Amino acid sequence: SKAPDPQTEARTEFNIGWSIYAGWMPWPYAQQAGIVKKWADKYGIKINVVQVNDYVESINQYTAGKFDGVTVTNMDALTIPAAGGKDTSAIIVGDYSNGNDGILLKGANALADIKGRQVYLVELSVSHYLLARGLEKAGLKPTDVKTINTSDADIVSAFGSPDARAAVAWNPQLSVMKGQTGVTEVFNSSQIPGEILDLMVVDTATLKANPNLGKALAGIWYETVALMQRQDSKGKEARAAMAKLAGTTPESFDSQLSTTYLYTDPKAAVAATSDPALLKTMMQVRDFSFKKGLFQGASSADAVGMAFPGAKTLGDPGHVMLRFDESFMKMAAEGKL
Amino acid sequence: MSALLSLSNIWVEYGDKIVIENVDLDIEEGAFVSIVGPSGAGKSSLLRIILGQEIPTRGTILLDGQRLGGECGPDRGVVFQRYSVFPHISALRNTMFGLECEQAPLSARLFGTAHKAAKAMAMEMLDAVGLADSMHLYPAQMSGGMQQRLAIAQALIKRPRILLLDEPFGALDPGIRADMHALITRLWNDYALTIIMVTHDIREAFKLGTRVLALDKRRHDPDAPHRFGATAVYDLALRNRKDRAAGEELVAASLTPKIDANPNTKESIGHG
Amino acid sequence: MSALLSLSNIWVEYGDKIVIENVDLDIEEGAFVSIVGPSGAGKSSLLRIILGQEIPTRGTILLDGQRLGGECGPDRGVVFQRYSVFPHISALRNTMFGLECEQAPLSARLFGTAHKAAKAMAMEMLDAVGLADSMHLYPAQMSGGMQQRLAIAQALIKRPRILLLDEPFGALDPGIRADMHALITRLWNDYALTIIMVTHDIREAFKLGTRVLALDKRRHDPDAPHRFGATAVYDLALRNRKDRAAGEELVAASLTPKIDANPNTKESIGHG
Amino acid sequence: MRWVNRHVRRREAVLIGAVPILLLVLLYLFLAAQRHAINPLDKILPLPGGMAEGMANLLFNTDQLTGKIIFWADTFASLQRLGIGLGIATLFTLLIGLVLGVLPPMRATFGPLVTVIAVIPPIALLPILFIALGLGETAKVALIVIGIAPVMIRDITAYVSGLPREQIIKAQTLGASSWQIMIRVALPQAMPRLLHAMRLALGPAWVFLISAEAIASDIGLGYRIFLVRRYLSMDVIIPYVAWIALLAIAMDAVLVLISKRMFPWAHGAGH
Amino acid sequence: MRWVNRHVRRREAVLIGAVPILLLVLLYLFLAAQRHAINPLDKILPLPGGMAEGMANLLFNTDQLTGKIIFWADTFASLQRLGIGLGIATLFTLLIGLVLGVLPPMRATFGPLVTVIAVIPPIALLPILFIALGLGETAKVALIVIGIAPVMIRDITAYVSGLPREQIIKAQTLGASSWQIMIRVALPQAMPRLLHAMRLALGPAWVFLISAEAIASDIGLGYRIFLVRRYLSMDVIIPYVAWIALLAIAMDAVLVLISKRMFPWAHGAGH
Ligand SMILES: Nc1ncnc2c1ncn2[C@@H]1O[C@H](COP(=O)(O)OP(=O)(O)OP(=O)(O)O)[C@@H](O)[C@H]1O
Ligand SMILES: Nc1ncnc2c1ncn2[C@@H]1O[C@H](COP(=O)(O)OP(=O)(O)OP(=O)(O)O)[C@@H](O)[C@H]1O
Ligand SMILES: [Mg+2]
Ligand SMILES: [Mg+2]
């Protein structure tokens, strides 16, 4: 809170927060491998990639202005910073969850069997969203289950208790929980493809004042993703390093990647971002969030506006707080970085 | 041996320091032993050893021919020099404590008639030490002398076979002190107690005791003043008044101050 | 008024209980006041009030004509009845404490020559109370009498204008007690101290004091024994030996026990 | 008058003691107003108006599922857990602390075990706790007990074993057995210290309660705080935390009162 | 011999004290073996072999980034945070505890504030803490300090203000000012209790350290525990927790030793 607002000033040093998730591991790896420094130097800036062990806290810190950018899902970007009045731009659509989130039951193998059970999940998260979508598809009402808020750090051990007979989780926790005896995955995010997106978002004002930040981030991302996709020893080495950073084995990390639909090619990412389907997805996410009361105090689901490529908007156009900005991905696609 | 208590070759040492050296002592059942001696000579230490609170570094103590194992029990009662009573209970309950422990092994509390009887006994004892009016006070609300009397009442009510008293009347005025003398003499007679009392009042020692033990430092080595090794320098059995008077003079003379006293002081010793 | 200390209409009450009632007292500079009286009469309470540790429920105390505000300072030294010294420092440091506080307001510790000088003074004082050999002991390693002497040394080294002593020689044997009498008399003479001493030894009171105050209960109401309201029943100024002898007899007779004593006891009173 | 001697009267003390707390509140308001002047939508330090709005929903609307007002339901659930946890911990402390404090062989045998349990951070071993005790109320209460009891036990053990040896000797000369010493000498004297230990444990007890409710729960003050933390809803978190502090201070005051009423000898100045 | 009187010699005590801990370890091994008999892949109670495997990687491989062995790097980072946190908390305790304990007006004024701070669960206000202090070392150390200092301060304040009034009076008659009473009477006598308070604070200090590392960190014992928790890698968590316990017990032993060496008067039985 110094006199000149740091978010509208041109600056040279930026902090980007990240937390452990298969689709976000390229960030710390890029830092470790010197890719971050390479791109930052190119644009004459300095980027600190800071790990936050607790996902929620990383978003809180971003909302509070301690980070200029953060890795986040589309739903949390909408309901946390955007709904909190922080104008946020999603500049990289990294991947969508293609099975990285799932609903697990013990001693049952159909989603319909979830009826009447207590479901352990991180409430008001993408897990909650996935559960809502699953229930909808199974023809169940939200009141057919009772949710128990469970911290993401503890959900694996909580599910180990005989008390817990249903849970919703994401990877890497999901893969561990699935491995327990008598557990079946009855629904997962591959059945709602493209609805759970993993993003890199930055503060809109900062981005406007420092477009170089967006360029550097896009440059870092696509170089790293390209590297990790390689099937040679270099790519394998990169993936092994990421696995280690995530605290797991290369095999487990590869299996997590297999349920992550990475937009390795910037063109694909641009296409996905410009696809009208994104509007539909975000509408669904928004309506769910509003129903759950996540737009604090707002009178309608339209209260928080969203902007999409091609000047399309959703909700209140005078109060746009979340912008899907494809321009940096486009530059990467066109090799202009 | 017919001795109730028999100490042989007792030493008390603290590291390099020798406090008590080679004390041999036989105490008969029913004796009233007064122990006198200069401050710091080891009187309290000796009492603590007989009590079983401390174990001598050398030597053995036999009680009824049995070796004492560093444990004290209801056969030995004690009034400590720094009269310590239980701070968390009233004077009455402090006095009843011994009775309650004896009669209610499990709850250590009495009810109904047993309680009434114990209370009556305790009140009688408190009356004897002049604390009848103060029975509901906590120790912190009492004067020094009152606490000392409470400690006496607490120990006497159990009528222990051996009663160890460490300067029990130190904080009392002459009037109450005389009452206490009477009380202790009566209980000693009535219950055939064996009493060992430390006192710094030589007259008191000779008045009450049937035997007076003077403990004093054996060595005054300026190079090792802490290795004084006190022992019994006099051990006088008193059968009659003549014995008493002679003994008192002897002991008072031997325990006079070593520092040159001014005339004023000298005069007082003449009196003593 | 030329009185150093002037108490007027002092009352000490605990709730319903009246301990001291309407005490008026003027103490001249240089006086040596002995206070005697039965246990629980309020002697220590009176001392605590003069010390400033407690505030009387009624009445005023003037020191040099100034009202005492419930605070004590280096002008008044004290030896408490339960001789309390600092448990965490050695005898030597306990004795040096007052000097260190005076000379080093900030660190309360002395170094170099100042330390040496203070240490020499403290050692001299410890020698005077017979603790020269024990200067490195902690209080817990000392006998009762040694702790009491340490408390005396600690208070005396400051040479306070007013010295308040609450049964300071209670735990001492006659030899050392005589030494202490000599010491205190010498300091009182040399430094023109004003001393107020509580004692239960009437002979000591008359031997040392220039004035003897006998505090006793004013009422013995069986329905309200706790509202005794002690006050000064005798206040004797002593100028010569005849005064002393007469006073001693008077006070001793008036403070005799109220309970019927057995023959054995009676005899001792004759001696006292 | 020297500061050591300036005693403050009861009623004045309450007033004086309130001043720094009020200043803290004022400081908060000042900082919040400052942040809001720069960014009216600031979420981190909400103004009282914002908090009132944030709380209104929880205070006046009933929950559809349970039909209860959320705020009171949360309070009740948390207080129940805390009360049971604190109660069990206190009971354990009394039993174990007395036995270990009075009986040297027991202290030698189990003292090190208590130390080991005390220094193991329970939140690191949650998985084992879940398996042993499930995910229900038991586990939450157990976490509180495991969190606070070892510290309390160690404190009481140290206190009891440090009682003047003269008292133990004296009791024995009066015929007291080990058991009688335990219940008549050690227990009553340990009580004021136990109440003191409970007071000191109140803070940690709330921490463990909140941690437990953060892990798996669907009601409770800690649950609500961690739920809305996702949205940085400090407008709810701060009133909730203030409420927790208020509850804890009330408990603290009650414990002080109990101690003064029931154990006057431990508080009366004596001389 | 009555149990109250059975004193255990130093060397025997160490042996006897080890027995329950060994039994606990045996119980663990028994339960783990039982679970593995049912499900050889059980992750919750790993067998020693499994733990050795789990730890091998952390113990023998160096981290590419830092070139250090992860286990030692974690240990060093955590110990540093803990040490600084504990040190600052102790310093605060000494300063504030003494001032509040000795000077009644200060106690009346700031005592309630300390109580309020003590009962506010710091983990509920983590967002504010991290925002105010950043995500670096400061915030982690601060969480430890805020977590343990208030309890310690309250304990020392209560202890100091409970020193026998005679001592304070005596010191004044010897000419001591409030300040001198503080440093020469209260401070040295509070030291053994302070060391006791530090010992009791060790457990909570580790809890807060782990909580802080769980949220924002990239190195440390707590970080590692929470990192592998996602995979239920009890084969790493349990050795780490055992290591934490060992470190804490070593610190505890050091504190006891310091107390006995430096303040013999507080431990010597006297009479
Ligand atoms: N807090 C208190 N509550 C009630 N009564 C008290 C309290 N403090 C002291 N008293 C009473 O005050 C009276 C006087 O006590 P004080 O200590 O002054 O007696 P004393 O004359 O010094 O007796 P001693 O010679 O035995 O030391 C006693 O009867 C005692 O019971
Ligand atoms: N823990 C200890 N360490 C060193 N010396 C000790 C210890 N305990 C006692 N002493 C010494 O033992 C000696 C005897 O002490 P004791 O209490 O038996 O004396 P006392 O004859 O009762 O004296 P008093 O008449 O003054 O009470 C003293 O010189 C004392 O310094
Ligand atoms: Mg003695
Ligand atoms: Mg008195």
Structure confidence by residue, pLDDT tens digits, E20-47: 999 999 999 999 999 899 888 888 889 9
DSSP characters over B2-54: --SEEEEEEEEEETTEEEEEEEEEEE-TT-EEEEE--TTSSHHHHHHHHHTSS
The pLDDT, as a whole number, for residue E42 is: 82
Which atom of ligand 2 is nearest to E270's Cα? 1
Residue bearing tokens 């009437």: C202
Chain C: residue whose CA lies nearest to B272: C174
CB–CB contact A63 D43 (8 Å): yes
The pLDDT, as a whole number, for residue B256 is: 52
Closest among B24, B7, B21 to B221, alpha carbons compared: B21
B75-84, B184-193, B243-252, D227-236 — which one is most confidently predicted on average? B184-193
User: Is-contact B27 B64, C-beta < 8 A?
Assistant: no
Q: How far apart are CA E223 and CA E213, in angstroms?
A: 5
Q: What is the pLDDT of residues E257-266, one digit of tens each?
A: 999 999 988 8
Percent of chain C, pLDDT > 70? 92
Q: What is the pLDDT of residues D206-235, one digit of tens each?
A: 999 999 998 888 899 999 998 888 777 888
Q: What is the pLDDT of residues E143-190, one digit of tens each?
A: 999 999 999 999 999 999 999 989 999 999 999 999 999 999 999 999
Residue type, E104: P
Which atom of ligand 2 is nearest to B45's Cα? 18
For chain D, the C-alpha Rg in angstroms (whole number) is: 23
Q: Residue C243 pLDDT more than 80?
A: no
Query: Do C and D touch, counting CB pairs below 8 Å (3 needed)?
Result: yes
Q: What is the pLDDT of residues A205-219, one digit of tens each?
A: 999 999 999 999 999
Query: From ligand 1's centre to the CA of D194, what distance in Å?
Result: 30
Neighbouring-strand partners of residue B198: B35, B166
Give chain E positions within 8 Å (CB) of D24. Answer: 113, 116
> Residue D5, SS3?
helix
The pLDDT, as a whole number, for residue D4 is: 82
Mutate to test the interface with C, among B173, B187, B207, B255 (most CBs of C within 10 A): B173
Q: How would residue B140 be classed by pLDDT, with cut points 50, 70 and 90?
A: very high
Greater pLDDT, D75 or C68: D75
Query: From ligand 3's centre to the CA of B45, what distance in Å?
Result: 7
The pLDDT, as a whole number, for residue B187 is: 92
Q: State the complex-level ipTM.
A: 0.89
The pLDDT, as a whole number, for residue B260 is: 37
- Note the Cα D131 to chain centre separation in Å: 26
* Tokens coding E175: 């000419």
- Would you kindly state where each structural domain of chain E is located, as residue ranges? 66-267
CB–CB contact D271 C69 (8 Å): no
C155 to chain D, closest Cα gap in Å: 19
Mean pLDDT of D43-52: 88
Q: Among B66-70, C138-142, C258-262, whose mean pLDDT is lowest?
A: C258-262
User: Is-contact D162 D78, C-beta < 8 A?
Assistant: no
Q: What share of chain B is helix, strand, coil (3-state, %, to 5)?
A: 40, 25, 40
Mean pLDDT of C126-149: 93
Put simply, whether B87 touches D (Cβ < 8 Å) is yes
Q: Residue D190 pLDDT more than 90?
A: yes
- B43 Cβ inside 6 Å of ligand 2: yes
The pLDDT, as a whole number, for residue C255 is: 64
Which protein residue's CA is at the shortest distance from atom 7 of ligand 2?
C141
Among the partner-chain residues D41, D53, D135, the one whose CB lies closest to the CB of A85 is: D41
Which protein residue's CA is at the shortest distance from atom 14 of ligand 2?
B42
Q: How far apart are CA C271 and CA C244, in angstroms?
A: 17
- B176 Cβ inside 6 Å of ligand 1: no
Q: What is the pLDDT of residues E185-209, one digit of tens each?
A: 999 999 999 999 999 999 999 999 9
Q: How would residue B224 be classed by pLDDT, with cut points 50, 70 and 90?
A: confident
HSE of A326, CA atoms in CB hemisphere, 13 A? 20
Dihedral angle over CA of B60, B65, B70, B74, nearest 10: -150
Q: How far apart are CA A309 and CA A327, in angstroms?
A: 9
The pLDDT, as a whole number, for residue A4 is: 45
For chain B, the C-alpha Rg in angstroms (whole number) is: 20
The pLDDT, as a whole number, for residue D1 is: 74
User: Is-contact B160 B72, C-beta < 8 A?
Assistant: no
- Note the Cα B38 to chain centre separation in Å: 15
Percent of chain A, pLDDT > 90? 53
Percent of chain A, pLDDT > 70? 97
Residue-averaged pLDDT of chain E: 90
Neighbouring-strand partners of residue A121: A149
Q: How far apart are CA C88 and CA A128, in angstroms?
A: 63
Q: What is the pLDDT of residues A98-139, one digit of tens each?
A: 999 999 999 988 999 999 999 999 888 899 999 999 999 999
Phi and psi torsions of B2, nearest 5°: -95, -5
Query: From ligand 4's centre to the CA of E171, what distance in Å?
Result: 20
DSSP state of C24: E
- C262 Cβ inside 6 Å of ligand 1: no
Which protein residue's CA is at the shortest distance from atom 26 of ligand 2?
C145
C232-241, D57-66, D162-171 — which one is most confidently predicted on average? D162-171
Q: Residue E106 pLDDT more than 90?
A: yes
The pLDDT, as a whole number, for residue C2 is: 66
Residue type, B145: G
Which atom of ligand 1 is nearest to C41's Cα? 21
- C42 Cβ inside 6 Å of ligand 1: yes
User: Is-contact A226 A33, C-beta < 8 A?
Assistant: no
Which protein residue's CA is at the shortest distance from atom 22 of ligand 2?
B44
* Tokens coding C83: 């001789």
Q: Residue B155 pLDDT more than 80?
A: yes
Domains along chain C with CATH numbers? 1-75+161-182+191-196+206-272 (3.40.50.300), 84-159 (no CATH)
Mutate to test the interface with D, among E2, E4, E45, E182 (most CBs of D within 10 A): E4
Among the partner-chain residues B44, B48, B69, the one whose CB lies closest to the CB of E1 is: B69
Give chain C positions within 8 Å (CB) of B44. Answer: 143-144
Q: How far apart are CA D53 and CA D49, in angstroms?
A: 6
Which protein residue's CA is at the shortest distance from atom 9 of ligand 1?
B141
Q: Whose atoms come closest to the Cα of C171: which ligand?
A: 2
Helices E187-215 and D104-119: crossing angle in degrees, nearest 10, is 40
> Residue B235, SS3?
strand
- C146 Cβ inside 6 Å of ligand 2: yes
Mean pLDDT of B77-97: 92
Closest among E268, E247, E262 to E203, alpha carbons compared: E247
Q: How far apart are CA A196 and CA A189, in angstroms?
A: 7
Is residue A245 exposed (0-12), middle (13-18) or buried (19+ Cβ within 10 Å)?
Answer: buried
Put simply, whether E18 touches D (Cβ < 8 Å) is yes
Q: What is the pLDDT of residues A241-292, one digit of tens each?
A: 999 888 888 888 999 899 999 998 999 999 999 988 999 999 999 988 888 7
Question: How many residue pairs bridge chain B and chain E with CB atoms within 8 Å of each other?
Answer: 8
Dihedral angle over CA of C202, C208, C212, C214, nearest 10: -30
Query: From ligand 3's centre to the CA of A70, what distance in Å?
Result: 76
Q: How would residue B266 be classed by pLDDT, with cut points 50, 70 and 90?
A: very low
**b/e map of A295-325 (b: 16 or more CB within 10 Å)?**
bbebeebbbbbbbbbeeeebbbeeebbbbbb
Q: How would residue A8 be classed by pLDDT, with cut points 50, 70 and 90?
A: low
Taking the alpha carbons at both ends of chain E, their separation in whole angstroms is 21
Put simply, whether C174 touches D (Cβ < 8 Å) is no
User: What residue spans of E39-125 are helical by DSSP H?
Assistant: 48-60, 70-102, 104-119
User: Is-contact D143 D122, C-beta < 8 A?
Assistant: yes
Q: Say if strands A166-170 and B211-216 run parallel, antiparallel, or are unpaired.
A: unpaired
Greater pLDDT, D270 or C269: D270
Chain B: residue whose CA lies nearest to D265: B88
DSSP state of C173: -
- C137 Cβ inside 6 Å of ligand 2: yes
Question: How many residue pairs bridge chain A and chain D with CB atoms within 8 Å of each other?
Answer: 85
Cis ω on the peptide bond leading into residue A172 (within 30° of 0)? yes
Topology (CATH level 3) of domain E66-267: MetI-like fold (1.10.3720)
D78 to chain C, closest Cα gap in Å: 43
Q: How far apart are CA A153 and CA A23, in angstroms?
A: 18
